[in-house]
Amino acid sequence: MLKHILLLIPVCVTVFWSIVLNTKPDTQSTPRLFLGKFMLVASVVYISHLLFFTPLPELYSYIDPFYQYASLMVYPLYHIYIRLLTVDLRFSFKIHSRYLLVPTILFILYLFGILIAPVNDYNTWIFNRDFNPPTIHFLNIIYPLIRFTFLVQVIYTVIGNYFLIKKHGYKAKQFYSDIEDSSTGKVNIQNILMIITGLASLALGALGRDFFANETSLIAIASATFTTMLFIVGWLGDKQKTLNPTFGLQTTTNQIIQLEDLSSAVQKEILNKILNLFDEKKCYLHSKLSIQDLAQTVGTNRTYISTVINQSFNQNFCAFVNNYRVTELENVIRLHPGYSNQLLAEACGFGSVDSMKRAVKAKTGLLFSIWKEQNTPGNQKKV
């Protein structure tokens, strides 16, 4: 009984995130929704593990090909999720089918091997891979190929994701004003967790399921590992915003030419409008402010806004906005020293307390608690 509860936990976690990531319309985005599909496929893998250890082996014989298919789909789907965060506007079979083609071909070949094998031989083989009569020779060729393909997928996905994040992650800082939204920290943690999950899967695959059949403690370790990894991946994915939010707003060649020919007078006019919005109207107090919002208010495009801020202040958009927020925070602390951190964050335009703390650290190099103490009335002389 305990063994089956342990095996059920990762099923519950993946199904939970599949539902959550697909049923919160106020925060839906293409990558987030797709991560929900990834979790659904991952749940098939863990349902298969659960059924393997049930006392109904004939039931698992029907599930096994779908387990093999799901295991081959997990990492390609995760790579597509990262692509949707960085370079692709939406999922497209035309663009992304190449990542799903090999798993599908191997699935079809695996099914073919099952169909040509005697039922009794196949049922024996899926619980004993050393069983090797001529009738399942084809399956004994395809199965190692599936395992090798999974290894290649893990390596390719992790490396590919790393370079996509590194290449496009900076663009979030040129779009979002919330320092949490502009950070690549969450998606990098997700990628590391998927490395751990992949390595653990390979290790457990090498040991074989039979190794765990009568070892509840080992099943507990495996269950805890996969459950923790996947829960955090889902939790971070629920919060993660698109790293390249401008791919739906791509700069045209015409805009680039205009930017090169932008006169100093026009640049000064844009700069004055930006400073008026920040100094007089305090637009930075809107926690969801983006460069696209600012561009629309100024009456220009985001490329010009980004360039003027970069050239005038040697800062990206996110840093520029948060420097204003930190300055506002200094004033609010002096006026309202009793405010809680949550009230301070809300009053100064930060999206969260964590964003506020990170912004202070980025500007001053100090921990928020130390910086706050230094700026609290009565303590300024200690600075």
Decide: 238 and 21 in contact? Cβ < 8 Å: yes
What value, to the nearest 5°, has the Cα angle with vertex 243 and ends 240 and 246? 130
SS3 label, residue 176: strand
Topology at the third CATH level for domain 2-239: Rhopdopsin 7-helix transmembrane proteins (1.20.1070)
Decide: 236 and 187 in contact? Cβ < 8 Å: yes
- Cα separation, 203 vs 199, in Å, equals 6
- Cα separation, 122 vs 269, in Å, equals 75
- Compute φ and ψ for 274, nearest 5 degrees: -65, -45
- Cα separation, 303 vs 174, in Å, equals 9
Q: What does each C-alpha distance from 227 to 5, 10, 285 come to in angstroms?
A: 12, 5, 39
- Tokens matching residue 89: 């506007």
Architecture, CATH, for domain 253-382 = Orthogonal Bundle (1.10)
- Cα separation, 270 vs 298, in Å, equals 7
SS3 label, residue 290: strand
- Tokens matching residue 306: 């980004």
Q: What does each C-alpha distance from 29 to 87, 225, 251, 309 come to in angstroms?
A: 14, 28, 22, 28
For residue 256, count other CB atoms closer than 10 A to its CB. Answer: 11
- Tokens matching residue 189: 């943690």
The dihedral built from the CA positions of residue 92, 93, 99 and 100, taken in this order, carries a sign that is positive
pLDDT at 254: 43
Extents of the domains making up the chain: 2-239, 253-382
The tally of CA atoms less than 13 A away on the side-chain side of residue 84 is 22
- Cα separation, 70 vs 39, in Å, equals 11
SS3 label, residue 1: coil
Query: What is the gyration radius of the CA atoms in the chain, in angstroms?
Result: 26
Query: Tens-of-pLDDT digits for all 383 residues of the chain?
Result: 777 788 899 999 999 999 999 886 555 588 999 999 999 999 999 999 888 887 676 788 889 999 999 999 999 999 999 999 998 888 999 899 999 999 999 999 999 999 999 999 998 888 888 888 899 999 999 999 999 999 999 999 989 999 999 888 888 888 888 888 888 888 899 999 998 888 888 887 777 666 666 677 888 888 898 999 999 999 999 888 888 776 554 444 444 434 555 677 888 899 999 999 999 999 999 988 989 899 999 988 888 888 889 888 998 999 999 999 999 999 999 999 889 999 999 999 998 999 999 999 999 999 999 999 888 876 654 43
Q: What is the DSSP string of 195-214?
A: HHHHHHHHHHHHH-GGGGTT
